[in-house]
Structure 1
């Protein structure tokens, strides 16, 4: 990956699978990179590709104004940077964490004289540096920091700024991952149902993909209803009807010898919304059940 734009220098703390992928991409793009990793042996590959290896986090941070962090967890970030002078530094934290950790780490950085942006990586290491793979990173926190370094941050993957609240990158990350695991749960249950039957998983696969794609309308529909708080206008398949039909799903699972543990929680949520007030909620869209999840 080459271009005629000026190349920035940066520091990267952390050379796990994701950190190594980030390092290789920046190096391939011609950026000057200083790296540090607690296990020094992991720095050998980036060093062979031109990275400067720092002996300590303090040495790595001192080398550049932009410092990208991709460590195990928030506690590791605190441990690695304990006592390190961060005055005037721009910290971009790509370590997986919670919204609360992002906000606390932003305050911690600002107290030490640094600007801070938190990130949530929506990609696997193999997607880094491969634009056609569709990976990207959510960023939130200092808009000025993001704007200053956007070109550098976009080298490994697309960059999407989601607000100046430092917790919003992690919140977007976890929201999307939560939806993904919910989808995985349904797909897993579907495959379990056909185990032992004369139905090949590879034959069910295209049907699952097609059906899940068709049901994607629920994403936008739920967003509109949660915004308007109108769960009754234009309902096609009511909560009462879907709750009644859910019995068939549970009986089929029982008859097929399949645990319903992956789908029962959502069916129970719909039933709870309905039984709270059948007259008020029976004609609603199922999106109304979402309101029960907020404690």
Structure 2
């Protein structure tokens, strides 16, 4: 396993923490920390979401400020960066360690780090590379990216490793957000490609379940090749430009024949002369 990655581990002693945000992801995170024996205080804008966690032993705070006051370690998992600012507007962050797992842009994460420092808190940014069912399930392969002070990450590594494996990606505060959004962008494009594929066969009398298996298998087979974009291709790997152009042209002609919009192909393959 890489030096900057770690699998979930059991902390030597329970760490009290506060979690703001109990959507599907926040609730999944909360369950794992409670199951591991961590004293957990939770807050959510909609109080009804906390009922299950209260039965599992969580302390439910009436306000975000009260929740922050309850623990030295505060984790946010909210809708967006504006939600984080709003939730913490009245909280005293002096001496707190704030870890933001809310999806944000690199610039927003850097601004949030500076904002936290001005209010007396240490800050780590996080990017969750998992869906809720993958939290607390090491075999599922999910992990959480972290960036910010290395010493702060190391200090909390044990508790952060409870929900999912951790991967530290650098001191620069916006790095985790950059990795997060870049990886999500790749996923989004993959899903868009799969939807495009289904649109092509929509009216062709194709068994959709059988075709779905072919799509999944083909994408899985091709996935390892994506790592190659990180290095210069060898001479053996370079496909003739003429072959690429002919292949792209066939993709566009087929989409038009099937009455499917070519916007995705234009974005992914680029504008090819003559098509």
TM-score, normalised to structure 2's length? 0.89
- Residues in 2 aligned to 1:21 and 1:213: alpha-carbon distance in whole angstroms: 27
Equivalent residue pairs, number? 267
Matched, 1:116 2:118: no
- Residues in 2 aligned to 1:49 and 1:261: alpha-carbon distance in whole angstroms: 49
Q: Which residue of 2 aligns with 1:5?
A: 12
Indicate which of 94, 103, 113 corresponds to 1:106.
113
Tell me which moved more, 183-192 or 234-243: 234-243
Residue deviations 1:252-272, cap 9 Å, x none?
111122222222222225x37
Larger relative contact order (C-alpha < 8 A, sep ≥ 6)? 2
- Residues in 2 aligned to 1:138 and 1:91: alpha-carbon distance in whole angstroms: 15
Structure ID, larger Rg: 1
Residue deviations 1:66-94, cap 9 Å, x none?
11111111111111111322111110101
SS in 1 for 2:270: helix
Indicate which of 75, 82, 87 corresponds to 2:89.
82
Q: Does the 8 Å CA contact 2:9/2:162 hold for their aligned counterparts?
A: no
- Residues in 1 aligned to 2:41 and 2:34: alpha-carbon distance in whole angstroms: 10
Q: Does the 8 Å CA contact 2:9/2:161 hold for their aligned counterparts?
A: no
Q: Which residue of 2 aligns with 1:242?
A: 244
Q: Which residue of 1 aligns with 2:4?
A: none
- Residues in 1 aligned to 2:109 and 2:270: alpha-carbon distance in whole angstroms: 33
Q: Which residue of 2 aligns with 1:257?
A: 259
Matched, 1:142 2:149: yes
TM-score, normalised to structure 1's length? 0.84
Task: Kindly report which structure 2 residues correspond to 1:23-102, keeping only aligned pairs within 5 A, or say none.
Answer: 23-102=30-109
SS in 2 for 1:215: helix
- Residues in 1 aligned to 2:11 and 2:265: alpha-carbon distance in whole angstroms: 53
SS in 2 for 1:7: coil
> Unmatched 5+ residue regions in structure 2?
1-7
SS in 1 for 2:41: strand
